[in-house]
Structure 1
C-alpha cells in the first residue's frame, strides 16, 4: 500500500504555512521509557495551562509531538452543515503548518471536497491512523488518490483525532511525518490526549486578535490581492499569473484571514491602507 498522507488548507489564522517553527525540536523518543514520555506530557499540560496566546499553544503542541517524530500539524474546526474543509467559518480558529506546496496543490485540485479523513472523522470517536483510512472498504479510489498524492509531498505517515463538541460541531487535529512508520498504540493515545487538551484550551482562549504584519503576506498573496484590488476576477488573475483560479482563491483566502477581512474587497482595501500593495 502507498504511504498515507493528507492535508488541509483552510482556517483562521493559518500559522506558519512554511512548516518552520520558532524553536529547535527536541530529540524524539520513539523508544523512550514510559516514565520519560509521561514527564513530557505532564510538562506540556502544565505549560499549556499557563499560556494566553493561541499561537504559543500551537508551538507548544508542535514541540511535544515532535518528540514522536511528527513535524506537521493541521487543526481545523468544522460546522454540522459543512461538507468540506474549503469554507471554514471566520469565527473558528484553524492552524496548519503543512508544506506550502501541498496546501496549494490541495486547493488547486479541490481535494477538500473528497478528503476521506473528514468523512471518517465524522463517524469516529477516537484517533485513527491514515493507513486505516486508506484500507477502509468505504474509501473510494478518488479518495485514495488524495492520500497517494499527499505522500509525494512528504506526508507519509499520520494520525488524525476527531474532536466532537456540542451542537454537532467538531474539529480535526492531524499529525503527520515524512517517515514510513506505523504509529504505536501508546503514541496514538498520547497524541489523542494532547489534541484534546489543545482543543479545549483553544476553545477557552477564544478567537485571537489579528496580529499580522506586512511581512506576513507572501509575494504570491500580494500579487493575487493586488489584481483583486484592480478589479480582476480569480480566473483573470490566474491567466495573468499563470496559475489556476483555485490557487488564486487559496491565496486570497489566506490574505483575508491574515488581515481579518470578511471579503476580498475589504482585504484589498486593508492591504492598500497598510501599504502592503500599491495600485
Structure 2
C-alpha cells in the first residue's frame, strides 16, 4: 500500500476488527511468581479486554468508525463486554452470543517493573467461526481496514484475511499470541504484519532483542509475502519495513515512565489502523500509533489505559 494524500482532519475511516473479547482479571504483585510459588499481590481489578476488544476500543477512541466481529458468552461478563463496546460507539451488530461457552477470560499478573504474564481461556472466542465471517461480507466490504489477531480460531483468521484481500480492503494481522510459524499461504493476504519482538522471534525461529535483530526478522517475514512488516520493540520503538523500501527504518518510541505495558501493542495497532483508515501516510500512521502507545503505558489497565484522540500529541 502506498502513502496517500494528507487526510481531512475531520474525516473518520472505517475499521472492522475480527477478534477476541475477554474479561481481564488483573493482579498486581512485586514481581512475577516462579513455578510453584505463591506471592502476595497488592491490587486487583476486573476490566474489559481481549486483543480484539482492546484494538477495537483503541481504533474507536483514536478516530475511526469501528465494527466488531466476535462472540461473547451468555453471562454477566459477556453483557459487560458488549455494553462497554457500545459505550465507545462501536457497532456490535456482528457480535454473537454463545449459548454453550462462557465469555473468554485473561488472567494477568503485572509486576512493579510494569512487565506482565498472561494466561488466556478462550471460551466463546472459539466460536468465532469462518461461517460467521462469511455472514458479515457486507460489513467487511464497508471497512477501509480489517484487523485480525490470533486469539480466535486459525481458520477464522484466514477467512477474514482472505475476505479482505478479495474485497480489496487493507488487512492488518497482529500475530498474537504466536505459538508457531504462520501458514505460508497467509502472508500474501496480509498488507501489514505487526508482531512484537517475541512474536517475530517465534515466526522466524531467531531471538530478537535489538533493532538489528528486528531488521533481519522483518526482511525474513517480508520475503514470505507480507506486503509490509512492522516489528514493535516496546521501549525501543518499532522497525518498519514498508513496500518500496528495501532497507527499512528503526523508529524510536517517545520516552515515558512506564506504569503498565498491558495493551500498549493493541493501542499502537488501533491507532495505526485508525490513521490508515482516514487516509494518512503510513509513516504518519506509525508515528501516531507510537505516541498513543507511549501514553497508554503511563496508565494502569488494558482498555482503561487507551487514550482518546484529543489526548495524543501532534
Return the structure number with greater helix share: 1
> Normalising TM by the smaller chain, what interval?
under 0.3
TM-score, L = length of structure 2:
0.23
Larger relative contact order (C-alpha < 8 A, sep ≥ 6)? Answer: 1
